Structure 1
Amino acid sequence: MNIPRKTPEEVEKMREAGRQAAAVFEMITPYVTAGVSTGELDRLCHDFIVKELGSTPAPLDYHGFPKAICTSINHVVCHGIPDFDKKLKNGDIMNIDITVKTTDGYHGDSSMMFVIGDTIQGERLCRVTRESLYKGIAEVRPGVKLSTIAKVIQAHAENAGYSVVRDFCGHGIGAGFHEEPQVLHYDGYASEADAELAEGMCLTIEPMLNAGGYRTKVLKDGWTAVTKDKSLSAQWEHTLLVTASGVEVLTARSDEDFSFLTA
């Protein structure tokens, strides 16, 4: 398996891509409230990426995807398509997935959950999913195998009573939106695919946890993936750089504390 390792120049380009993805979330977060449409959120993100950052929303027209971001509500696992007719309501949970492609041609990919109003079940699922991501990130360093990360994520999710989606995974990232390796979030690696991390690799970890079973299906639009049992689903994602001593979270936002990575 040929897993790209970034040069110092490429690392700087990845850092900029990560900063830009984080900036989009900083911009859009205040707008995510009951009554707003996912189409409006998409418009705001698209215009910010293009007009303010001078970059490109990578999902737009990627294999035919029709929008700039993904908005996945409640039982939608991923790749939900924004729609001006779809308005958020109290009790919803929603994932926004944003990927920026900079003028240098490098990608920053991240997603986060939003809880609209009051939903105890939704809040817990979102919290445990975020914890699962952070526990996976904490394992990233040279010499660690991908299966180690996957097992830690799966254990935390299942100990909390949730299942881990099998049909979608994280990935390498750089000048390509999706590069090698595939980053599973459950213990499912064949030996030849269980790569060992090395300094300079960039990858996403993006666990999707379901409140019910792990099985999913894709709707007739060809994109929207939902839980088969219609249970709630949540996802968090960051783009990461493997450093000489550990990991750098390239898409970290100002509301996040990663001091535990250096403790």
Structure 2
Amino acid sequence: MSFMNMILRGSILVIVWVCMFAFLICGDKFLGLGFFKLSFGVESLILLTLFFAFLITIPKLRSDFAGYFYLSNKKRLTIGLPILLALGMQVAFNFVRFIPTWMGSEMIGGGSAQFNTPGVLSEIGERILVSIIVPFNEEFVFRYVPYAVLLWLANNAKEYSNVSNKLYFNLFVEKNTKYVWAWILSTSFVFAMIHEPSILNFLFYFIPGIVYAILFLKYGLFSAILAHSSYNLFSGIIFEMMKRIL
């Protein structure tokens, strides 16, 4: 690619991103969602619009992304399984959260970096941010990017490095169980740690990360996003139900 083509593509990327971001600013003000009243909301929208700007302006990236979005034609599993798993995890984890209260202690809380709305978002705005935007961003960053980038690096370096060749063959060609699980566990660990969990609630993030990673590898990014979205959506509902029961 020539220097001028790089400048042109970069300029188009910036223009597309600015237009998308400006559109969201106007939409937020018109609908009163409250995204731009929160630094977390602004950061999430910046990340989201950057992702889509790259996908729109870079054909190869768009094609690669589309290839990972759906990996199975089994719609019942692609859609139904993620929702059921999300519901099951919420019931199980909320049950565990209340166990200390039976012994006179406080309920197990969430990670210190987990987003908690301070009440400035509208109800619809909170649902959109927590159940759509954040799941998409996090699954893109912690599932698609680590897999696609590692594949690209290993593929381009396999002729020059035995390590890269071994990684490429075992993880992406043969799908060796040890290599696949190493990828699943490592990405899930990082995913859990960004929420700054304690020893008590670490598994509340690590296990969902494993589930999302497996869904991504087996059914595609859509299933991982759907599971994450459903998990966040069910969170408050299941918590209130468990609080009344327990």
TM-score bracket, shorter-length normalisation: under 0.3
Which one has a larger percent strand, Structure 1 or Structure 2?
Answer: 1
Q: Which has the larger radius of gyration?
A: 2
Higher relative contact order (CA 8 A, sep 6+): 2
Q: TM-score, normalised by structure 2?
A: 0.22
TM-score between both structures, scaled by the size of structure 1: 0.22
